[in-house]
């Protein structure tokens, strides 16, 4: 089978998960792939990136929203909503954690899997990231009602106003900041509404270029996926990519 530039570097049984795990590395770029083979009806995929925050602007969270708002190959306003309408997938999502961002999906149909794979890869590696979308998802100013002063608005800004008002979340963030004061975990990865307006469009694009670099991607495959076709699709985004050093791990 043509591995399309991927080379197996390690293999072991993971009995607790009932899978045979194989770690592969794309030789040209250095991107890594974890293949989990086992008895599973779903064909699952995820691509993840290390997105440690350096401040409270919520850049990783805002970027997650913008990545899902159209790409070079699929320049739709909301391609993921269109996928939901036409896909057989049982799971489609994206999640921002305090130190990583992950884009997973699962379906039982091989062709649906390959279709979704193309949309996901184009979204993360070649998003449009327009300034208009930045203003919509991050923050912008708009006139208040009945001639009131200008108001801050934005999808993530409004979302996080509600999130940080939750006492449980506020307590958790305070505890984490106190326990890890010299690490990235002291920051509000989702974005603090007070700090979100400090994020610039240029800053967001720079964050994407550094953290979503194809060589720094980590892929996971689970189930009896069409492996050769999948590797070929992955390689189409990795071939010719300059190898870069990994981002430093979280400091503890």
> Which residues are designated catalytic?
64
Measured torsion, CA atoms of residues 58, 63, 65, 70, in degrees rounded to the nearest 10: 170
Q: CA geometry: angle at 111 spanning 223 and 79, to 5°?
A: 105
CA 63, 67, 69, 75 dihedral sign is positive
Which residue has 């200008």 as its token pair? 150
Nearest to 233 by CA among 63, 91, 107, 110: 110
Kindly tell me the burial class for residue 195, based on how many C-beta atoms sit within 10 Å of its own C-beta (0-12, 13-18, 19 or more): middle
Nearest to 219 by CA among 231, 208, 229: 231
What's the CA gap between 151 and 252, in Å, rounded? 39
């Amino acid at each position: 089978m043509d591995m399309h530039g991927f080379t197996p570097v390690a293999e072991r049984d993971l009995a607790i998960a009932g899978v045979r795990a194989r770690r592969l590395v794309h030789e040209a770029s250095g991107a890594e792939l974890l293949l989990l083979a086992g008895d599973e009806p779903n064909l699952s995929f995820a691509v993840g990136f290390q997105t440690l925050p350096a401040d409270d602007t919520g850049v990783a969270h805002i970027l997650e929203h913008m990545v899902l708002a159209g790409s070079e190959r699929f320049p739709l306003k909301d391609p993921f909503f269109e996928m939901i309408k036409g896909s057989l997938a049982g799971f489609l999502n994206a999640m921002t954690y305090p130190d990583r961002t992950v884009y997973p999906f699962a379906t039982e149909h091989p062709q649906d899997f390959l279709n979704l794979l193309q949309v996901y890869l184009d979204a993360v590696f070649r998003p449009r990231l327009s300034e208009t979308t930045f203003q919509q998802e991050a923050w912008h100013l708009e006139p208040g009602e009945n001639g009131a002063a200008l108001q801050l608005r934005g999808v993530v800004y409004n979302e996080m106003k509600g999130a940080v008002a939750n006492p449980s979340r506020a307590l958790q963030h305070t505890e984490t900041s106190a326990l890890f004061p010299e690490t990235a975990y002291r920051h509000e990865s989702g974005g603090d509404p007070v700090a979100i307006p400090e994020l610039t469009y240029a800053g967001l694009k720079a964050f994407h270029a550094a953290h979503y670099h194809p060589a720094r991607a980590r892929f996971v495959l689970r189930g009896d996926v069409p492996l050769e076709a999948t590797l070929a699709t992955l390689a189409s985004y990795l071939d010719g990519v300059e190898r870069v050093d990994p981002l430093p791990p979280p400091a503890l």
